[in-house]
Amino acid sequence: MRLASRVVSTLLVAVVVATCSESPTNVHPGAVSLALAPRFSAEAQAIYRSLAAFAVTLDNVRIVVRAQPVGDALGAVLKDTLVAFPATADQIAIVLELQITGTEQRVLATVDLQSGSTVYFEGTQDLVARVGDTPTVAEPIAMNYVGPGAAATSLIIHPIVSSQPVTLAPLSSLAFQVQAQDQTEHVVTDLPVTWRTLDPTIATVSAEGVVTATSKAGSTTLIATGLNGVSAQTTIDVAPVAQLVALRGENQNGIVGSALPVSLAVQAIAANGHFVSGAAVNFAAVNGLGSVSQSSVVTDLGGLATTALTLGQTIGTYTFTATVAGAPSVTTRVTASATSGPLAALGIVGGGDQIDSVAATLTAPLRVKVTDSFGNPLAQLTVEFQVTSQNALLAAALGAPASTLLRVASGSDGVASANVVGGTIAGIVHITAWIPQTALPSVSFTETLRAANPAQLLVIQQPSKTAQATIPLGTQPRVQVADQFGNGVARSGVEVDVAETCTRCELRLAVPTTIARTQSISDTFPRGVGGKTVATTDASGIASFADLTLNEFVGPWQLEFFTPSQSLAGAFSDVIDLSAGPAASIIAWGVLDTTFIAFAGDSLFPSVRVIDKVGNGIPDVKVTWEATDKLSAFDNGATVVNTQTDVDGVSAPGSWVTPAGAAGPFFLQVTTTSGSSLENSPLRLWAFLSPIGSIATPTRSVAIR
């Protein structure tokens, strides 16, 4: 174990000195021994020997050797060495290597005694380093305390009671603090301090300064001592409480159930008249009538203990006591009077949480009771009822005029009531009741209006406003079973069908019936609503459709929803603007796909149409016309022409001229940018010489839907 109280008697420093001449290579090392002897004043010696009491162990020595200062500047550091200080050593030897100028040099040596990195003692001495010189007498170095709190010159012990010593009740405790100051009375914060009492049979003190009285009455001295040797002391008395004196809180008046405005304050006094700190005082309301905020309070330095007093729920006189714990004879008491007041409370006594159908009057009226703060009824107080959410009306009696705000006076039993007439919207109805011009909190009723019997269908999710023929609607419709007021009815298993209806049908192009060879899917594709057109309602009464398509000609359409039995009124969707679907076929249009001409050199005016599955023309499709017979050509002599379909999906290259003197046959090949993915693509149009002349070219026909 290290002995913190040991004194370092001698430091032997052996220095290997290298002298420097003008030539940097002319260095002649030689040995020199220096002896340094720490010297402690009586004050420093006392501090050194007290380190163990503060759990401080010096475990290293730092030596800094500098050249002599130049002006106000410190000399250059020649050596800075930290050496462990063995626990068992009173003398240590340190070997240093220095480079000095010449054969001797005056240096300044500083010695620090440290614990870890904290310096506790420091000394400085001028020395002369001479090559080849071995001193026989150690140079003394005066060591001074420079550790934590070294600047402190005085201590002040707190707390301080100005008119008397601090007086503690037996077996009580009180925390003391010490404040260190320097000679200018500035606070020094880092001085370690130890505590002790001169008579531990009267009171003891912890390392943290907490004084604990014993059961023995008497007086002792509390002493605080700093590591640097400064100290302070104060007197501690230990005495039991001889009497309790009520300082305030006597003879008050208040309203039942309220806290009295002035707290009860008592003072504990010893037999010698000193105020006793640390005494436990028990407060109580006699017979449990009333209450105290704190039933046990420890007296402060002035001997004071306080508690707030609260009256009970009945009028009359109340008694409160204060007694020293463990000394039932040391007691005092005060009285107070309670009177009634106009305080009121509002509470629900009936009519809440009812369930009934829309447009019905709820079975039970709403009832609230007006009372004082302890349940006594108060009559002739105005209560206001108001509907705060959803639709409902309030009436003072059945058949009386109804409104959303109703004012009613409380009866002799303190009860005010209101009847609820439900509106036409299902949901939760919130009704609030309160007493106007008071700070009393309001009360709230929650009633439920459920839907009436099923009467109709409602579209609660509209289908997409735009759609393409044969393509599933982007937003699929959802239909709700509802009552006559439009409230959703939770009715499962209801079958809902859907059909289409045209809201504003216009003329549309039809495929010529005389074209025989270029048949298309539009000839047989089923018209109407596609997908699963029947849905069954779930537990919430909602029928959801998943894959509906409109397989119709372009234009405005609506969906009609109905039940097969027609037991519920049907519903219509918003208008859906239907456009053509994806291109599906290419067909001959302006002439027959096989045409007979009367003579060579005749001109034809062919056209084609690009359509979807239901026959809607597809606009803006690029079409390539090629006369592949190597004989015929178009009116500009070209054998290849590129065109684009118009708004009806029709494309024409102009005139198709068959050459004179050629017997044919003549044919065109028509392709689109969709390539062979279209039905009939590539499409071929034929022209043959006919001895009887050409067959009449079909014209565009129209149909009205």
Closest CA to 679 of 513, 470, 527, 518: 518
- CA–CA distance, 207 with 193 (Å, rounded to integer): 9
Instruction: Work out whether strand 528-530 and strand 549-551 pair parallel, antiparallel, or are unpaired.
Output: antiparallel
Instruction: Work out whether strand 231-238 and strand 166-168 pair parallel, antiparallel, or are unpaired.
Output: parallel
- Using the Cα atoms of residue 106, residue 112, residue 117 and residue 119 in order, give the sign of their dihedral: negative
CA atoms within 13 A on the CB side of 567: 10
- Using the Cα atoms of residue 340, residue 344, residue 345 and residue 346 in order, give the sign of their dihedral: positive
Residue 322 backbone dihedrals phi, psi, to 5 degrees = -130, 130
How far, in whole angstroms, is CA 653 from its chain's centroid? Answer: 70
Closest CA to 265 of 323, 293, 301, 307: 307
- CA–CA distance, 336 with 334 (Å, rounded to integer): 7
Q: Residue 276: beta bridge partners?
A: none
- CA–CA distance, 462 with 477 (Å, rounded to integer): 5
> What's residue 11's pLDDT?
53
Residue 81 backbone dihedrals phi, psi, to 5 degrees = -125, 135
Question: Cis (ω within 30 of 0) for the bond into 159?
Answer: yes
Q: For residue 374, what is the enclosing H or E element?
A: none
Instruction: Work out whether strand 327-339 and strand 316-324 pair parallel, antiparallel, or are unpaired.
Output: antiparallel
DSSP one-letter string for 165-223? -EEE-TT-EEE-EEEEE-TT--EE----EEEEES-TTTEEE-TT-EEEE-SS-EEEEEE
Closest CA to 547 of 535, 558, 536, 556: 535
On whether the CB atoms of residues 132 and 160 are closer than 8 A, the answer is no
How far, in whole angstroms, is CA 50 from its chain's centroid? Answer: 56
> What's residue 675's pLDDT?
67
pTM of the model: 0.49
Closest CA to 249 of 265, 273, 231: 265
State the amino acid at position 375 in one-letter form: G
On whether the CB atoms of residues 445 and 434 are closer than 8 A, the answer is no
Closest CA to 111 of 126, 99, 121, 96: 121
Closest CA to 592 of 648, 654, 668, 522: 668
- CA–CA distance, 543 with 498 (Å, rounded to integer): 11
Token pair for 218: 């008497």
Mean pLDDT by 10 residues, the chain (705 residues): 40 48 41 68 88 89 89 87 77 68 83 92 86 71 92 94 92 96 94 96 96 97 95 96 96 92 97 96 95 97 97 88 96 89 88 96 96 81 93 93 96 93 95 94 96 97 97 98 96 96 61 54 90 97 97 95 95 96 90 62 84 94 92 88 94 86 81 84 81 39 27
On whether the CB atoms of residues 604 and 655 are closer than 8 A, the answer is yes
On whether the CB atoms of residues 427 and 439 are closer than 8 A, the answer is no
The side-by-side arrangement of strands in the sheet containing 633-634 is 603-604, 656-657, 633-634
> What's residue 20's pLDDT?
42
- CA–CA distance, 582 with 619 (Å, rounded to integer): 11
CA atoms within 13 A on the CB side of 570: 16
On whether the CB atoms of residues 131 and 85 are closer than 8 A, the answer is no
Token pair for 132: 């080849």
Token pair for 616: 């809607």
> What's residue 377's pLDDT?
81
> Which 3 state secondary structure label does DSSP give 44?
helix
Give the list of residues 6+ apart from residue 22 with CB closer than 8 angstroms, or none: none
Number of H helices, E strands in the chain: 1, 62
State the amino acid at position 214 in one-letter form: T
